[in-house]
Amino acid sequence: METALSPLEFARRTRRLYPDLEAVVDGDLRLTYAGFFERCDRWSAALQRMGVRKGDRVAYIAPNTHAQLESFYAVPQIGAVLVPVNYRLTPDDFAYIIEHSGAEVVCAHADQLAAVDRVRDRLPGVRHFVALEGAAPGWADYETLLAEAAPEFEPVEIAETDLLTINYTSGTTARPKGVMITHRNAYMNVVGTLLHLRLGLGERYLWTLPMFHANGWTYTWTVTAVGAVHVCLRAVDPARVFALIRDEDVAWLCAAPTVLITLANTPEEVRGRVRPGVHVVTAGAAPAADTIGRLEETFGWTVTHVYGLTETTPFITVCEPRPGHAALPPAERAAVKARQGVELITSGELKVLDSAGAEVPWDGATVGEIAVRGNVVMAGYYNDPEATERVMGDGWFHTGDAAVTHPDGYVEIQDRIKDVIISGGENISSIEVEGVLLRHPAVQEVAVVGVPHERWGETPRATVVLREGARATAEELIAFARDNMAHFKAPTQVEFADALPKTATGKIQKYVLRKGASAVSRQ
């Protein structure tokens, strides 16, 4: 006997066991699981009335609201494919993603209605425009449609290999690619997440991570699976984050390292009393050991580093703690926690491969590319067989991340392969240089890139954001780096900026820095 592996199975179980438990908090709105799933069912019925059938695409452009969360159940349970769009993109990006995905329905938050209206003439395939909040001419009202629909929809048979979502990559250097995630992909990631990161019944999860980003790292379904509570957060404002953690007794959150840096450096008068015991899951870029140390030592939080990509649903490694880690001095323990770690039980096989395709030795020094295969790897890029073939044509998904494997099997990323700096024939990890500079008390954020050098070919240049009220000179930071790492790895140039250029998911856009187009310099 077989049943399809789908995150909808978690909804079925929670709907049956925990109907009266609180499910969603969004401002003043509070929903039980019974109320939440009734809304999902009504929207499924409304979509079917609009003519949405199995395989059709429905695009959403919204921040972390209850309506956005409802899409992760209402759309797939009628066999349609959800396209969660990064709401911080430009109207041109919206038009490309909606048109490329073939979405026939577009649902948008009030803040994005005008942007979509600007490109309507480029969206001939869209049959329905729905405003999730706010009202505007030419937009149907979400709540009205919900109220008019009965909470019964026509059941659809779903296979685990069916598409669940199409998630578009950041597209920092080219047009974004549509990552095809199946029901099976998401199911396996949820199970692996709960095996390693044990969110429990009734615990409260704060949505500091965008739901559009790799389906909120599948926490859109993970939280529901165990009858926990979704606490929605529409924008990451540090004061609001700390207030919700206190007032809602939040126990879990996910965030990119850039968000953690912001929280770690929030002044005491803004953050107020900090609730200890929060479990933080971080990924999206390599977190600095110093940032992890500050959150754990200052706030009493527990930070777990995971690693993956949108193409891997997303988790493929977790830096799981071992008994010996607890005995390490805080700085050493934080350094270990900054590693990407080991395979999740459910994620499949991971190897670090050299240029010939052989696994590198587990010596913590030999650099190769991370390649993976298993049940969380995407079905491919939507309508892009050439790009799919490039990254997975040999049966492995090649991540583009350069890493080493330590003797204990823990993987540690050294850089994106394209970001490795080659200076005088020596490979320099920009991440290593950034980690050293972040230990300087004046530095809040830093990005290091390679820039041309007449003698060495390339040399590291650091762009630094200082902490509020702090001062440092370029010469001081260069000297600090030279005192704490091999001299050839230290930056030869330092520039100061008010902010680093980033994608909407918090990843630093190093290609911008290489062009010298960083944020406004303070010098």
What are the structure tokens assigned to 236, written together?
């990451």
If asked whether residues 441 and 400 sit together in one domain, one would say: no
Asked if the structure places residue 204 within a domain, the reply is no
Asked if the structure places residue 23 within a domain, the reply is no
Asked if the structure places residue 70 within a domain, the reply is yes
If asked whether residues 428 and 352 sit together in one domain, one would say: no
Task: Inform me whether the pLDDT recorded for 332 exceeds 90.
Answer: no
Per-residue pLDDT band at 261 (split at 50, 70, 90): confident
Task: Inform me whether the pLDDT recorded for 518 exceeds 50.
Answer: no
Which of 68, 62, 63 has the alpha carbon at shortest distance from 24? 68
Ranges of beta strands (E only) in 263-344 are: 279-282, 302-308, 315-318, 342-343
Which of 307, 319, 251 has the alpha carbon at shortest distance from 280? 251
Task: Inform me whether the pLDDT recorded for 173 exceeds 70.
Answer: no
pLDDT at 425: 64
pLDDT digits 0-9 by tens, 186-203: 999 999 999 999 999 999
Domain boundary pick from 401, 416, 431: 416
If asked whether residues 402 and 428 sit together in one domain, one would say: no
Asked if the structure places residue 206 within a domain, the reply is no
Chain position carrying tokens 């080219």: 174
Q: Which residues pair with 364 in a beta bridge?
A: none
If asked whether residues 289 and 382 sit together in one domain, one would say: yes
Task: Inform me whether the pLDDT recorded for 426 exceeds 80.
Answer: no
The domain of 290 spans 236-416
pLDDT at 247: 97
Domain boundary pick from 361, 396, 416: 416
If asked whether residues 250 and 281 sit together in one domain, one would say: yes
Give the C-alpha separation, 215 to 310, whole Å: 9
Asked if the structure places residue 523 within a domain, the reply is no
Ranges of beta strands (E only) in 356-466 are: 368-373, 380-381, 397-405, 411-416, 421-423, 426-428, 443-453, 457-466
Asked if the structure places residue 48 within a domain, the reply is yes
- 121: domain CATH number is 3.40.50.12780
pLDDT digits 0-9 by tens, 10-43: 999 999 999 999 999 999 999 999 999 999 999 9
pLDDT at 442: 94
In angstroms, how far is CA 346 from the centroid of its own chain?
19
In angstroms, how far is CA 259 from the centroid of its own chain?
11
If asked whether residues 450 and 408 sit together in one domain, one would say: no
Element containing residue 350 per DSSP (H, E): strand 349-353
The pTM of the full predicted model, rounded to 2 decimals, is 0.86
Alpha helices (runs of H) in 197-277, residue ranges in sequence order: 214-217, 219-225, 238-247, 257-264, 268-271
If asked whether residues 120 and 48 sit together in one domain, one would say: yes
Asked if the structure places residue 341 within a domain, the reply is yes
Give whole-number Cα distances, 521 to 262, 438, 500, in Å. Answer: 20, 19, 10
If asked whether residues 387 and 438 sit together in one domain, one would say: no
Task: Inform me whether the pLDDT recorded for 55 exceeds 60.
Answer: yes
Give the C-alpha separation, 142 to 146, whole Å: 6
pLDDT at 522: 39
If asked whether residues 304 and 365 sit together in one domain, one would say: yes
CA torsion sign for 245, 332, 284, 174 is: positive
Asked if the structure places residue 196 within a domain, the reply is no
Which of 434, 432, 502 has the alpha carbon at shortest distance from 464? 434
If asked whether residues 269 and 359 sit together in one domain, one would say: yes
If asked whether residues 262 and 142 sit together in one domain, one would say: no
If asked whether residues 264 and 379 sit together in one domain, one would say: yes
Domain boundary pick from 365, 382, 416: 416
Chain position carrying tokens 């606490």: 231
Total domain count for the chain? Answer: 3
